[in-house]
Each structure stands twice: as C-alpha cells, then as structure tokens.
C-alpha cells in the first residue's frame, strides 16, 4: 500500500510488514519501509505512520537529492544494501523492543536508533525538535561512506582526512574527552561515553548539517555553541577549511541538500501522454487533500483533481495512466 504522510508532508513510499520479524532482535517491530532497495526503516506498532514515513522520507531525500526516484550514488546504494543498513524506530528509550535489539542484534547495519519523541515531521532536522536527519546521517556515513572511503572518512586516530580535520577542529588529538578543550577549538564534544570514532562520526554530522544550512539561525547557534560553534555555511568554509573541502569534494558525493520531509518522485515525474512539456505535479481528491499518484492510478471510477506544470487543473477519473 502506498501512503502519503499528513497534509503537512507528501511521502510516496510503501509501508509494509516487518521483513525481519523472524529475527529475535527485531521481532517486536511490525512496520517497515524499504527505501530505494538499500535501507530499511522498521518501527514498533505504536509509532504513527506519519512519523515512520517522515523517517523514510529523510532517508530517501538524502539518497536521492534530485528526487527522480533513483539513488544518486549507485555505489553507496550497493554498499548500504550489502551492509544491511537499518534504522530502528522505538517507542521510548529502554523499551522491551530496544532491550531485545541490543541483546540479540549481531549485524553491522545499525549505527543509530530513533525514539518517537525525537521525531517531528513538521521540522525536518531542526535542532531540539527532530533528530531524524542526525541519526539517518550517522547511519549513511558509518555504514556507507566510512566503508567506501576509509582514507577519507576513517574513524581511527590518524587514519584519514576526517580524523586529521577533527584534530584541528578540537585543537589537538584527544583520544578521550579532555578536562577542557583549548580555547582555539570550535568542536568540543564532551560526552565521556563517546570514544574517538564516535566523536568523528558526530563531527562529520555537524559539518554536514552546517553546510546544509540547517543550523543557521540565532536560536540554534546559541543552543549548540557548547558543542559546535560553526553554525553557518560561511563560518564552516572560512574556519574549518579541511572538513569543508572534504565534505564538498565531488568524488564522495555526500548529500548536502537539507531534507524537507517531502518525497514523492512518482507524482513529480509523470508526463501526460501527448503533452511532453506538461508534467503532472499533484493529485488531490475532491475535498482538496493531496493523494499519492499510486492511489490515483489504483482507484478507477473515482474523480480526482489533477494539477499540471503548465498551471492547468482538471478533474480526471482515477485508474492507470496510459
């Protein structure tokens, strides 16, 4: 079944049963979205489909930045699929599902989890409101880019361009959290449970979302200053020259466009027969609610409102498009 999220977000991705229900680590998860055939999002039954689809849309947005329905980097897609990339979405921290997950999981595809209260479909990636972009990026980076380009993104001390940049950003190579960072540091992560590799993954996240522009407002800048000082793309480029050059290097194809919570490439790319210049951009029911193209095509003998790229709209009967 193809579903749209809420009136706020339009997400055209199929929600399915959990394909891993026979595995003890994932038996308590019931819902799943398989994004671009390479990344599973699984959720417990109490999670709303709006939140599940939001997480899946962020994965899709990051893998398919031009939203044409195809992953931008086939190599990354292949590595994520081979690595079993997976985002578990849980009801709350310490839940029975989470206990089973950590007690039984033996794979390498999970680098982060999300909890229901960390997800806000109306504010994709906004600091303090929606952690989805952060946790999905951790997984894409750890399961994907670190594996693909260890000389660039390796997580061990002195192993990569990333570790070199982080040592500069922290004004020293600290294998554990120091009592105090040097005054010159602009990255001062202080979670003592996070080892050097963990801090490197966090550093890559901060640099990426800064370049995306997600942090570039006064409230966010103030809220994150204890950990990360470079809240704007301009500050990142001028101050952290090494990591800026790394994440923007074209050969790595890191996603640097902020997800917006909308993902519906099928509707966006459908071209009306005989009118190649006219593209169907949106389908609504007669009450004015946006519906996925798959619903329109799968519901014959029912009227919908079709809006086209040339500004025209008309009522059309549902059913497969010719």
Which tens digit of pLDDT belongs to each residue from 196-242?
Answer: 999 999 999 999 999 999 999 999 999 999 999 999 999 999 999 99
Task: Write down the residue that tokens 């190599």 correspond to.
Answer: 75
Whether pLDDT at 7 is above 50: no
- On whether the CB atoms of residues 5 and 50 are closer than 8 A, the answer is yes
What per-residue confidence (pLDDT) applies to 322? Answer: 56
Q: H-type helices in the chain, by residue range?
A: 49-63, 74-82, 96-104, 132-139, 146-148, 150-153, 161-169, 196-212, 218-224, 233-239, 241-248, 265-269, 293-297
> Can you tell me whether residue 310 is helix, strand or coil?
coil
For residue 242, the Cα-to-chain-centroid distance in whole angstroms is 24
Whether pLDDT at 257 is above 80: yes
What per-residue confidence (pLDDT) applies to 301? Answer: 67
∠ CA 36-40-42, rounded to 5°: 140
Out of 99-108, 192-201, 261-270, least confident range:
261-270
C-alpha to C-alpha distance for 45 and 205, rounded to whole angstroms:
29
C-alpha to C-alpha distance for 8 and 123, rounded to whole angstroms:
10
Q: Express each pLDDT in 157-208 by its tens digit.
A: 999 999 999 999 999 999 988 889 999 999 999 888 999 999 999 999 999 9
C-alpha to C-alpha distance for 191 and 52, rounded to whole angstroms:
29
The stretch 118-145 carries a mean pLDDT of 95
What per-residue confidence (pLDDT) applies to 214? Answer: 95
What per-residue confidence (pLDDT) applies to 188? Answer: 95
What per-residue confidence (pLDDT) applies to 132? Answer: 97
Helix axes 241-248, 161-169, angle to 10 degrees: 150
DSSP 117: G
- Overall pTM surpassing 0.75 (yes/no): yes
- Phi (first) and psi of residue 63, to 5 degrees: -85, -25
Helix axes 132-139, 49-63, angle to 10 degrees: 50
Exposed, middle or buried by CB within 10 Å (0-12, 13-18, 19+), for 103? Answer: exposed
What per-residue confidence (pLDDT) applies to 5? Answer: 41
């Amino acid at each position: 079944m193809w579903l749209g999220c809420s009136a706020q977000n339009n997400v055209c991705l199929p929600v399915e049963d959990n394909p891993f229900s026979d595995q003890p680590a994932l038996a308590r998860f019931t819902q799943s979205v398989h994004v671009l055939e390479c990344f599973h999002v699984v959720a417990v039954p109490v999670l709303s489909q709006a939140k599940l689809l939001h997480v899946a849309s962020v994965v899709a947005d990051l893998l398919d930045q031009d939203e044409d329905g195809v992953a931008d980097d086939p190599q990354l897609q292949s590595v994520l699929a081979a690595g079993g990339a997976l985002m578990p979405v849980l009801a709350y921290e310490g839940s029975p599902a989470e206990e089973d997950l950590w007690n039984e999981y033996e794979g390498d595809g999970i680098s982060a989890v999300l909890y229901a209260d960390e997800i806000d479909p109306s504010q994709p990636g906004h600091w303090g409101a929606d952690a989805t972009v952060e946790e999905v990026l951790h997984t894409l980076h750890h399961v994907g880019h670190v594996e693909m380009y260890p000389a660039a993104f390796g997580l061990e001390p002195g192993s990569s361009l990333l570790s070199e940049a982080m040592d500069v950003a922290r004004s020293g190579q600290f294998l554990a959290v120091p009592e105090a960072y040097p005054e010159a540091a602009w990255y001062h992560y202080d979670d003592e449970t996070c080892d050097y590799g963990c801090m490197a993954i966090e550093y890559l996240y901060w640099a990426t979302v800064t370049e995306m522009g997600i942090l570039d407002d006064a409230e966010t800048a103030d809220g994150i200053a204890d950990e990360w000082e470079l809240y704007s793309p301009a500050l990142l480029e001028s101050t952290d020259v090494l990591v800026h050059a790394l994440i923007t290097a074209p050969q790595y194809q890191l996603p640097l466009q902020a997800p917006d919570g909308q993902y519906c490439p099928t509707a966006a790319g459908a071209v009306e027969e005989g009118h190649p210049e006219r593209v169907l951009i949106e389908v609504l029911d007669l009450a004015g609610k946006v519906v996925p193209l798959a619903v329109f095509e799968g519901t014959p003998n029912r009227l919908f409102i079709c809006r086209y790229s040339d500004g025209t709209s008309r009522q059309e009967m549902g059913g497969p498009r010719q």
